[in-house]
């Protein structure tokens, strides 16, 4: 499935990473800056928004937010954690036939290059 768009926070590094991913993955709608993906934002507004989303998208955000968001999407009260102390990460979400969000893949912070792009 082709990615419809790449959503990112207002942080420079997230925008830079989203730009690279949107181009390399040929996101149909490109990249879009959205609110609610900053490191300490609450996850409920984003979780609710995603339940209404019909297309496929990629979120470029930050820890600990992404870990809490992924956990909330699975109905867990525990936070998904990466072993890295670095902030930032990418989560690819798709809808399955039952319209349930499925995490297709995750780029933890260790795979995001210091320059803000994806490590080769």
71, part of any domain: yes
pLDDT above 70 covers what percent of the chain? 75
Q: State how far the Cα of 97 lies from the Cα of 109, in Å rounded to an integer.
A: 30
Residue pair 67/103 in contact by the 8 Å Cβ criterion: no
53, part of any domain: yes
50, part of any domain: yes
118, part of any domain: no
Q: State how far the Cα of 112 lies from the Cα of 101, in Å rounded to an integer.
A: 23
- pLDDT tens digits along 44-99: 999 888 888 877 888 888 878 888 887 776 665 555 565 555 666 667 777 778 87
Counted domains in the chain: 1
pTM of the entire predicted model: 0.73
Structural domain of residue 97, as residue ranges?
A: 5-111
Using alpha carbons, list the distances in angstroms from residue 64 to 26, 40, 53, 57, 80.
28, 7, 23, 20, 9
38, part of any domain: yes
From the number of C-beta atoms within 10 Å of its C-beta (0-12, 13-18, 19+), residue 9 rates as: buried
78, part of any domain: yes
């Amino acid at each position: 499935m082709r990615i419809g768009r790449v959503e990112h926070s207002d942080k420079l590094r997230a925008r830079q990473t989203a730009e690279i991913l949107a181009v390399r993955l040929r996101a149909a709608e490109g990249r879009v800056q959205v609110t609610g993906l900053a490191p300490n934002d609450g996850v409920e507004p984003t979780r609710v928004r995603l339940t209404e989303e019909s297309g496929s998208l990629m979120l470029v955000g930050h820890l600990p937010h992404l870990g809490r968001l992924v956990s909330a999407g699975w109905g867990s009260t525990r936070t998904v954690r990466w072993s890295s102390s670095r902030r930032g990460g990418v989560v690819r979400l798709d809808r399955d036939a039952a319209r349930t969000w499925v995490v297709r893949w995750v780029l933890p912070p260790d795979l995001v290059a210091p320059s803000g792009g994806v490590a080769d």
